[in-house]
Structure 1
Amino acid sequence: MKKNICLSLLLCVLAVTTFAQSNRFGKLLKETPGMVSYTMRASFAKDVPGTLDKIKALGITNMEMSSLFGKTAAEMRKYLDERGMRCSSYGVRYNALKDNMDSVIRDAKTLGAEFVRLSGVPYKGTFTLEDAKRTVDDFNQFGRKLKANGLTFVYHNHGFEFQPYQNGTLFDYIVQNTNPDDVSYEMDILWVFHPGHDPETLLKKYPKRFKLMHVKDLKKGIKGDFSGSTPPENDVTLGTGQLNLPAILKAAQKTAIKYYYIEDESPIVEQQVPLSIAYLKSL
C-alpha cells in the first residue's frame, strides 16, 4: 500500500512539473500573454464560442475584447466563464466614450474588465497640435469618469500621434498633459516603431504611464510613416521582423505594464500565432 501511495505521489509531482514546464514562459515574459480579439476577428465573426475554444487550446485565457461580435456583454461573459477565460480589457471606439459612456461602463463591468481601451481619435489629414489639445481634454474627461466607476482608461497609440513637436512628439504632449491619476496608455510596439521611434526608449521615458502592451512585429524591409496604417500582411510572426523584442520586453519588466496581448492582423494569423507563442517561450 505504501509503495502505491508513494508511486501515486510521484506521478502527481511529475504531472504538475510537466504542466508547469509546458506553460512556463521565458524570463522576459513570466506569464502567458493574452490575445486581442481583433487577431481572430474573421473567426469570431463566424463562430464566437468556437473561436474562444481555439484560443483556449493555445493556452491563452486572458482576452482584450475589441468587439463583442454581435453578442451582448452578458453573452460574451458567459462564453468566457464557461471556458475559464476572462476579459481584462475592453476596447471601444471614440464615439462610444464621447456619447455613450454609461453603456461602455455597464458593458465593461459586465465583462469583468479592469481597463477600457481607446485606439484612435478623430482628425483630418495630418494630426496637429490642435488635435492633440482636444485629445488631452477628452482623455482627462474620459479618465475621470471611468476611474469614478472603478475602471482604468488607456489609450492605444496608433502611429499618427508621433508627429514632431518641440523637442519631442505630439504623443509626448498628450502624455505630459493628461492626468496620470486618470489616464494611462497601452503601448502598441509596432505603432511606436512604424513612425520611427524606439519602444524601449519610450518605455524608459514613461515607465509609470503604460499599463498594457500589444506585442507584435513588423515585416523586414517595410518603411514606416505617420499614417497609422500598414497592410495586414506586414504583421509577421514574433521574432521574424524588425522589432528588437528581447530589448523591448526586458524594458517592459521595469514598468507598470500589467498585461501583454498578442496582436496579429495578418491573413494567416492561425499559422503565425502558435509560432509567436513558441518564440515568446524561448526568450
Structure 2
Amino acid sequence: MIERRHFLAAAAAAAMLPRGVVAASPRPVIGVQLYMARELLAKDFEATLAAIAETGVRHVEFAGFYDRDAAAIRRTLADNGLVAVGAHALRADMDDAEIDRLIAQCAGIGMDYAVAPVPLVPAYRALVGKSDNPFRDAIAALTRDDFLRTADRFNAIGGKVQSAGMRFAYHTHGLDFLRFDGRYAFDDMIERCDPAFVDFELDVGNTIAAGVDPLPYLQRLGRRASLAHLKDWRGPIEPAVDRIPPTAPIGEGVVDFAAVVRAMTAAGVRYAFIEEEETPADRVIAAIGSAYRHLGRL
C-alpha cells in the first residue's frame, strides 16, 4: 500500500537536480485534461469551455474534438482566453493516413503537443464481447515485445509530429509498470523511444496506483517529462496495473502534491494537467476550480 509518508521521504531525493537541469526551472503551468469534462463537452462544447475558463484555468489538453474542426475550436478557445496545449489524439495502431489527419488537426488548432494515450494493446479488440473485462484481460496478455513495437512506432509518429512543428508525447498508465524479465515495461519505453522525437507525459496518479513512486521517474526523465497528469486517490491503495483506486478531490487524498510539484519543477515539466476521472458531471467544474486553487497554493 502507498501512503503519503512515502512521498515525503522521496521528496528530498527528487529535489536533487540531475546534471543539466537548471535550478531556476519554472513551476509547471497547471491546466486541465478535458477528458474530465467529457460528458459536459458532449452536451454543450462551447458553454463547458466557457465555464472552465471562469475557474481561472487557462490551459487545456483535449481528449477528442467533438465533431469540431480546427477553426471552430480555435474560435471557441480565443473567445474564452484558453490555450490548447495538446491533445490525446494519436494511437500506435492507427494507419498513416489517420495519423496525418489528426496531426493536421492538432497543428491547425495551434497546439504544441500531440499525445498518444496508450501503447499497443493487441488483444483488446478481439476480447470485446467475449470477456467480462476485455481491458483487464488484454493487459494480462501484453508482452515485452508489444511495448518495444510501440516504442518503434512512436519514434516514427514523433518524426511526423515534429515535421508539423509540434512535439509528440506518450502518456503513461498503470500498465506501463508491468514487469518483464524483472524490469518495468516503462523502462524499456524510456530506453527505446528516441529523445529527439518522443517526450513523456507521466501520469503521477496512474503511477502511484500501480504501486510505483513517480518522483524518481521525474528525476530520471528530466525535461523528457515535459507533461504530467495529476490525480488523487482515496487510501489505502492496493497497487494494480489494470485498475485505479477510488478518486479523491485533488488535495484530499493520499498524494503529497507539494512533493510532486517540487519534483516536477526540478525535472522541468512544462505543463501539469488536472484529471479527476470519476468526478460526477454535475461537480466537474467546481472540482476543476478547487484543484486549480489547491495546486496554486503549493
Q: Same fold (TM over 0.5)?
A: yes
Contact preservation (8 Å) 2:120, 2:147: no
Q: Deviations over 1:154-180 (max 9, x none)?
A: 000011011123453110111111111
Q: Deviations over 1:222-255 (max 9, x none)?
A: 322111x337xx2211121122211111011011
> Does 1:230 find its partner at 2:244?
yes
Name the CA distance, whole Å, in 2 between partners of 1:239 and 1:86: 25
> Does 1:86 find its partner at 2:83?
yes
Q: Which residue does the alignment assign to 2:50?
A: 53
Q: Deviations over 1:184-233 (max 9, x none)?
A: 10011111111111111111121132010111111212322111x337xx
User: Which amino acid letter does the alignment assign opposite residue 67 of structure 1?
Assistant: G
- Written as runs of structure 1 = structure 2, the 5 A alignment for 1:1-283 is 30=27, 33-94=30-91, 95-96=93-94, 98-123=96-121, 124=123, 125=138, 126=140, 127-166=142-181, 168-227=183-242, 229-230=243-244, 234-265=246-277, 266-267=279-280, 268-283=283-298
Give the secondary-structure state (helix, strand or coil) at the position aligned to 2:195: coil
Q: Give the ranges of 4+ consecutive aligned residues of structure 1 lying more than 4 Å apart after TM superposition.
A: 28-32, 95-99
- Of 267-276 and 41-50, the range deviating more from structure 2: 267-276
Name the CA distance, whole Å, in 1 between partners of 2:95 and 2:111: 15
Name the CA distance, whole Å, in 1 between partners of 2:222 and 2:26: 17
Name the CA distance, whole Å, in 2 between partners of 1:181 and 1:29: 22
Give the secondary-structure state (helix, strand or coil) at the position aligned to 1:181: coil
Contact preservation (8 Å) 1:29, 1:280: no
- Of 267-276 and 249-258, the range deviating more from structure 2: 267-276
Where does the alignment leave 5 or more consecutive residues of structure 1 unmatched? 1-27
Contact preservation (8 Å) 1:237, 1:273: no
Name the CA distance, whole Å, in 2 between partners of 1:198 and 1:86: 31
When the two chains are superposed, the root-mean-square deviation of aligned CA atoms in Å is: 1.9
Structure 2 CA distance for partners of 1:29 and 1:242, relative to 1, 3 Å:
farther
Name the CA distance, whole Å, in 2 between partners of 1:128 and 1:99: 27
% identical equivalent positions: 25
Contact preservation (8 Å) 1:239, 1:245: yes
Where does the alignment leave 5 or more consecutive residues of structure 2 unmatched? 1-24, 124-137
Q: Deviations over 1:28-81 (max 9, x none)?
A: 985651111111111101101100111010011111011111212221111101
Contact preservation (8 Å) 1:32, 1:59: no
Q: For the pair shown, which has the larger CA radius of gyration, 1 or 2?
A: 1
Contact preservation (8 Å) 2:27, 2:270: no
Name the CA distance, whole Å, in 1 between partners of 2:296 and 2:43: 30
Structure 2 CA distance for partners of 1:269 and 1:223, relative to 1, 3 Å:
farther
Task: Report the alpha carbon displacement of residue 280 of structure 1 after superposing the two structures with TM.
Answer: 1.2
- Larger RCO (alpha carbons 8 Å, 6+ apart): 2
Count of aligned residue pairs for this structure pair: 253
Normalization by structure 1: what TM-score? Answer: 0.83
Name the CA distance, whole Å, in 2 between partners of 1:223 and 1:131: 26
Normalization by structure 2: what TM-score? Answer: 0.79
Task: Report the alpha carbon displacement of residue 146 of structure 1 after superposing the two structures with TM.
Answer: 1.1
Structure 2 CA distance for partners of 1:144 and 1:198, relative to 1, 3 Å:
same
Contact preservation (8 Å) 1:97, 1:142: no
Q: Which residue does the alignment assign to 1:16?
A: none
